[in-house]
Amino acid sequence: MSSYYSKNELVISGKLLSLFLVAYKDFTKTNKDLSRYEVLILESESEVRITFVPNISGDEKILGGKTSQGESVSYYVSKINHSIIKWHYHK
């Protein structure tokens, strides 16, 4: 990492961010408030898995990947053609 960035900055490549936006566009069809989620990104050689995990309120239990904040979903986005290969809700 370049000394240009501070240790408090999170650096995300434009390429990775563009793959995130593919998943995010589909995510927003059913989920409107990203602030209710954490986003996990796992990169492999040919694809990126982007998982939206809803926040948990207090003592809330997670049932079938759902909380009062939303539902957990993963998207697999191709690095080659920037399209969603598959997606699934968590159980």
Query: 42-70: per-residue pLDDT in tens?
Result: 999 999 999 998 887 777 666 666 666 67
Distance CA 48, CA 87 (A): 11
Write out the residue range of the structural domain in which residue 46 sits. Answer: 14-89
pLDDT on residue 62: 64
Q: CB-based contacts of 67: which residues, under 8 Å, 6+ apart?
A: 54, 55, 56, 57, 60
3 state SS of 68: coil
Domain count, the chain: 1
The answer to the question of residue 26 being in a domain is: yes
pLDDT digits (tens, 9 = 90+) for 8-49: 888 899 999 999 999 999 999 988 889 989 999 999 999 999
3 state SS of 55: coil
Q: Name the band, by pLDDT with cuts 50, 70 and 90, for residue 7.
A: confident
The answer to the question of residue 63 being in a domain is: yes
Distance CA 35, CA 19 (A): 19
Q: What's the predicted TM-score (pTM) here?
A: 0.83
